[in-house]
Chains A and B, each alone.
Chain A
Amino acid sequence: MDRIPILRMGDFLLVTIQVDMHDRLAMTLQDDLTSRIEKTGAKGVLIDISALEMVDSFIGRMIANISGMSRILDARTVLVGMQPAVAITLVELGLSLEGVQTALDVDRGMRALRKALASEEEGPCPS
């Protein structure tokens, strides 16, 4: 069966979606990612969709699900590289991906994850 590869980079998992996904492939990715987070203890997930020419409500929901599930598993998700035409279409479709953190590219997404992780490790100031 087809699978979308998940790469591990230190504390982060990187997923680059480069194919036009059919629905089951999107569901498989959701399952694979959550089990990889659990196995590796990853603190962050970067999903690169710069090659995706379309995000419909099904894929949008999968992205929102991954973000929600990873949060519960103590990992943050950053969605990177969305093409402007895809963003325009998504919002008109009625999906604003609330609660999903985004960044323009992988570099910025990585920086956002590191920053979030660093501020978490500092934690609240001891009184």
Chain B
Amino acid sequence: MSVLKSDSLPLRSEQDIVHARQAVRKLSQELAFSIVDQTKMVTAASELARNTLIYGGGGVLAWAVILDGARKGLRLEFSDQGPGIPDLALALKDGWTSGSGLGMGLSGAKRLVNDFDIWSEVGKGTRVTITRWK
């Protein structure tokens, strides 16, 4: 697997969530994703960016356009150095929330992408990686 291009964006404010959505929309268009796939990826990014900001206390979105054999994909990595998630299995359940959200963020975002990976350690932070393939 090779990285064709990559960059990162800060996730420190609500406006940064909007910027993240716009960046992901642009990248999805460049990769010629279908409208539905673009919308899914942008929506997943919005959910995860908000999690990073609200629960992680802010962090970074690192994106990469990747090539795996003949297929291209968009990989997004949301990371923070926040409190971490004590019970990952619980956090991935539909309808579960520790905050004021609907509890759809993590589980919902997972359903909207092809690959989903989460790492979290209490006191260290959380990193969620998602990929959608063309």
Contacts and interface: CB of A to CB of B under 8 A. Distances in A.
B91 interface: no
Given A56-B47, A57-B47, A58-B50, A95 B38 contact: no
Of the four ranges (under 10, 10 to 19, 20 to 34, 35 or more), the interface on chain B belongs to 20 to 34
A20 B21 contact: yes
B112 A92 contact: yes
A86 B111 contact: no
B14 interface: yes
A122 interface: no
A89 B40 contact: yes
Given A85-B39, A94-B94, A57 B105 contact: yes
Interface in B90-114: 94, 101-102, 104-105, 107-109, 111-112
A95 B18 contact: no
B25 to A, nearest CB: 7
Contact of B42 (A23, A53, A88): A53
Interface in A38-88: 53-58, 60-61, 83-86, 88
B101 A57 contact: yes
- Number of chain A interface residues as a range: 20 to 34
- What's the dominant secondary structure at chain A's contact region? helix
Contact of A95 (B22, B35, B50, B102): B102
B111 A93 contact: yes
B14 A23 contact: yes
B4 interface: no
Interface of B: 14-15, 17-18, 21-22, 25, 35-36, 38-40, 42-43, 46-47, 50, 94, 101-102, 104-105, 107-109, 111-112
Given A61-B101, A88-B40, A94-B104, 17 more contacts: A20-B21, A22-B14, A22-B18, A53-B39, A57-B102, A57-B105, A58-B50, A58-B101, A85-B36, A89-B39, A89-B40, A89-B43, A92-B108, A92-B112, A93-B43, A93-B112, A94-B108
